[in-house]
Structure 1
């Protein structure tokens, strides 16, 4: 059986949580308080992650799709469990659709998406076929480099004379209502509640007793990173421009210009955007394949990988006609109607059932 280290779990978690969240800036609807919305979302997200980890400890050695049959029985638990590979596949399709728009708009302007996406997906398929250890090693090598680039670019922004501290005031000037609309449901579900997907690999960690500590630390790192980007965006663009930006991080780094020789760093940011999307897509793909393998009790995953790749490619290339519609669904429809029931409601209900079964099980055993 494949195993990953605690540090690899940390890098996987940060990569997964950054994903496309850092690209589109889903809290921009909070305006100048977007950074506060991100921090608040992170705090509530940690509470959700604690629920997931408690469920993991109550179901030792089992993945998320095995929790439900274990606690609810075959007839109720199995249909619910099958909702998760379907969710993983659909979300992977959405991420591929993100990449379909990102690459022609940033890294390779005017490129044809149906020519660019197949090689990208092929690398993802290769990663999934190679196994979680290979995926973990990749994130282990790439994360320090990406975090260093992010830190350097934030420092360069400070020296580019583009920050305006007045843009951030008044803090909470429009009340908590506007912040809460960014927090619920998108802010909580996007990035943080999605961490439930990683419950598919938690049993593969060598030191499972440290999963809680490492996952929480990784979540804090991610939350601070996303909030820092949001704060920089507010200080550079102001509220009005920020709320209209499609790729706020990409546009933000275009503002770096020092001494007329250090500029045009947006290509590096484009590469980071693609790498984080690649990591998140690979992990969703892996979770979909592994969950189906466990539910179907299969020894080989080759046919599953091929089948899932075809489905993800078809969905990614056809689900959205344009970026505006794609982002609208991702913010206003998808989180409320899919993520909230599957990532918040069902795990919470499962926790209640598990606690009750444990309590009454102990009582009856006495």
Structure 2
């Protein structure tokens, strides 16, 4: 473990910004149609259950990251195999978010700039942050949290003043019953973004106020779920269901609809700043846990030495994952979301928790 500690408040800011992260860029839970906000809340309840699984493992091994206690639970050979798979998983997720971020900036801000250049410049900053360690990332999250709150409050106020939100777009509620909403919540929104909390299993041992970990995690998850539901409802209320479901970036379309006093309009900078803050922190965290996992697995004395070579790997994966953004999203929906995410976020942690329960029960006896 890195010789570092963070406060419960820093954990709160990290989780909140991480969960909002890249989820606000896309039409979250839109398969539930005008009930997308309700699907987000139901998925949040599922996210609480997943957090209790990760917290349960943390209670058994408060000083060890998953890449180490998995070896105690499953043995050296199988444990190292699972740990290596988690390192690959964290690395790929960091690369996929980097790809999302680069594609977004190319689409809305820098159409003449090659995707590789944008991704390379951004990963350089992320590599430097990861090289400095978790304490620097945690302190940075405190500053970014204040900026995000100011952006959110001022943006929401402008949307209300401009009168673009029409609550009738959210009706009828549960038009097709509760079944499609639950299906969307537990086959899509649960894994993205709530299930990605599995990365924090690597972060929890750094929290110095251990008695506050559970309460802080639940509060942060609850706040992020409410905010995501509010974003989903706001986008549909401002754009209508048809436009919100077909827009590549519905939050951007909503912000572009703001017009106050005939001159305050085209506030794209709000969206870009939102993306920069949330994308930066989420990539940094996934990158950091991948570096730490690799250092534990291969017994690297100074984990920071892995930051630059793994940064190059993440950059190359972000470019090679698909030939186009359309192909990338199709592969993500067809393979990654239904098979990879459930395995690493739900199935493996549940099995580890069951094994840990029986092993520690024998010790207690």
**TM tier relative to shorter chain:** over 0.9
State the 1:333 CA deviation: 2.3
1:104-115 pair list within 5 angstroms: 104-115=106-117
Give 2:315's aligned residue. 313
- Could you give the per-residue CA deviations for residues 98-145 of structure 1, whole angstroms, max 9, x where no partner exists? 012011112334322222221111000000001111111111111122
1:165 equivalent to 2:173? Answer: no
- Hey, what's the Cα distance between the residues in 2 that align with 1:110 and 1:281? 24
Q: Matches of 2:364 and 2:288 in 1, distance apart? A: 37
Match of 1:293 in 2: 295
The alignment's C-alpha RMSD in Å is 1.4
Match of 1:81 among 75, 80, 83: 83
Unaligned runs of 5+ in 2: none
Query: Is the CA contact (8 Å cut-off) linking 1:185 and 1:340 kept in structure 2?
Result: no
Q: Does the Cα contact within 8 Å between 2:5 and 2:207 map onto a contact in 1?
A: yes
Distance in 2 (alpha carbons) for counterparts of 1:271 and 1:258: 20
What TM-score comes out, normalization by structure 1 length? 0.95
| Matched residue, 1:32 | 34
Task: Report the equivalent of 1:116.
Answer: 118
Contact 2:27–2:244 under 8 Å retained in 1: no
CA distance in 2, matches of 1:252, 1:273: 15
Unaligned runs of 5+ in 1: none
- Partner in structure 1 of residue 101 of structure 2: 99
Residue 302 of structure 1 and its aligned partner are, at CA, apart by 4.4
1:224 paired residue among 223, 226, 236: 226
In 1, the alpha carbon distance for the partners of 2:311 and 2:120 equals: 10
Normalised to the residue count of structure 2, the TM-score between the two structures is 0.96
170-179 vs 131-140, which moves further: 170-179
| Number of positions where the alignment pairs a residue of Structure 1 with one of Structure 2 | 363
Equivalent residues in 2 for 1:242-253, closer than 5 Å? 242-253=244-255
Q: Deviations over 1:140-161 (max 9, x none)?
A: 1111221221122112111212
**Which residue in the other structure is 1:149 paired with?**
151
Q: Which moved more, 1:36-45 or 1:151-160?
A: 151-160
Give 1:97 deviation, angstroms: 0.6
Q: Aligned equivalents of 1:331 and 1:19: distance in 2?
A: 19
Tell me which stretches of 4 or more aligned residues in structure 1 moved more than 4 Å. none
What is the match of residue 23 of structure 1? 25
Give the match for residue 11 of structure 1: 13
